[in-house]
């Protein structure tokens, strides 16, 4: 799939995995539309080729308007990368009492339902474009987590939401095949993103020590590199790729 002279949507595109992916796509000639919340966009760097669009992935009307902006850019919309997400920690039962049911719902709404909303509305726009000589119209990349396989203590909501993204992958690829759209999912391990910004060096070192090899945290740029590889590799479809240094999460 060609990247240059096409449009690409990246959710959570103001920072972290999404920020690195948006920049990598722009550097390769895509017109990138980075969806994020207004507060995040205010802190985002100004990068040639990236247009920041305020959109909450849990609001279908905002997503529809943002997708329309991307699809009306004058070049075909070919790529959507879903990186928007949150990862709060809470036990089902703790000294504070039962898990906040509203928090569980919020995590699933952002991480899973938000991913599905953007995937669906972007796919509808991509399906209206002219296919290339191989019948391809586009590719969607969703972001899961190895927590979707091996959720730790306190990750019930996060693991459930990311497990849903993993389960979505294959049926989405099958549903969208007739429209010439591939669907892939990346399941990162522990990546050095703003979610870890408040963690001390000692704890970060302990996290890195648990990785089989290389013994370090992953980098957002490595996620972006993998996303570009998936886009370019036309025979990758319907698969979840773990990007985790062979890490298998312990209970805590």
Catalytic residue among 149, 158, 223, 235: 158
Q: Which residue has the tokens 């802190």?
A: 43
Cβ-count burial 41-55 (b if 16+ within 10 Å, e if not):
beebeeeeebbbbbb
Q: Are 175 and 164 in contact (CB under 8 A)?
A: no
Cis peptide before 214 (omega within 30 of 0): yes
Write the CB contacts of 87 (distance below 8 Å, at least 6 apart in sequence).
Answer: 107, 145, 155, 158, 195
Helices 114-126, 60-71: crossing angle, 10 deg rounding: 30
Cα–Cα distance between 209 and 218 in angstroms, integer? 12
**CA distances from residue 155 to 42, 91, 121, 249 in whole angstroms, order as listed:** 30, 7, 29, 11
Active site residue 158: yes
- Active-site residues, by number, are 158
């Amino acid at each position: 799939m060609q990247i240059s002279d096409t449009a690409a949507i990246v959710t959570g595109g103001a920072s972290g995995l999404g920020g690195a992916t948006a920049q990598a796509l722009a550097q390769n000639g895509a017109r990138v539309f980075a969806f994020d919340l207004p507060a995040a966009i205010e802190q985002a760097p100004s990068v040639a080729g990236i247009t920041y669009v305020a959109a909450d992935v849990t609001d279908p009307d905002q997503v529809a308007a943002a997708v329309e902006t991307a699809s009306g850019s004058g070049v075909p919309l070919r790529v959507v990368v879903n990186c928007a997400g949150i990862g709060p920690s809470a036990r089902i039962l703790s000294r504070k009492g039962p898990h906040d049911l509203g928090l569980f719902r919020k995590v699933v709404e952002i991480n899973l339902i938000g991913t599905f909303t953007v995937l669906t509305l972007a796919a509808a726009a991509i399906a209206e474009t002219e296919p290339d000589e191989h019948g391809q119209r586009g590719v969607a990349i969703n972001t899961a987590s190895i927590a979707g396989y091996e959720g730790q203590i306190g990750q019930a909501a996060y693991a459930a939401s990311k497990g849903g993204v993993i389960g979505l992958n294959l049926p989405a690829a099958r549903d969208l095949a007739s429209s010439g759209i591939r669907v892939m999912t990346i399941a990162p391990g522990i990546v050095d993103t703003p979610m870890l910004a408040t963690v001390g060096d000692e704890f970060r070192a302990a996290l890195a020590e648990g990785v089989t090899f290389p013994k370090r945290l992953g980098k957002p740029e490595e996620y972006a590199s993998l996303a570009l590889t998936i886009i370019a590799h036309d025979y990758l479809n319907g698969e979840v790729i773990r990007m985790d240094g062979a890490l298998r999460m312990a209970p805590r």
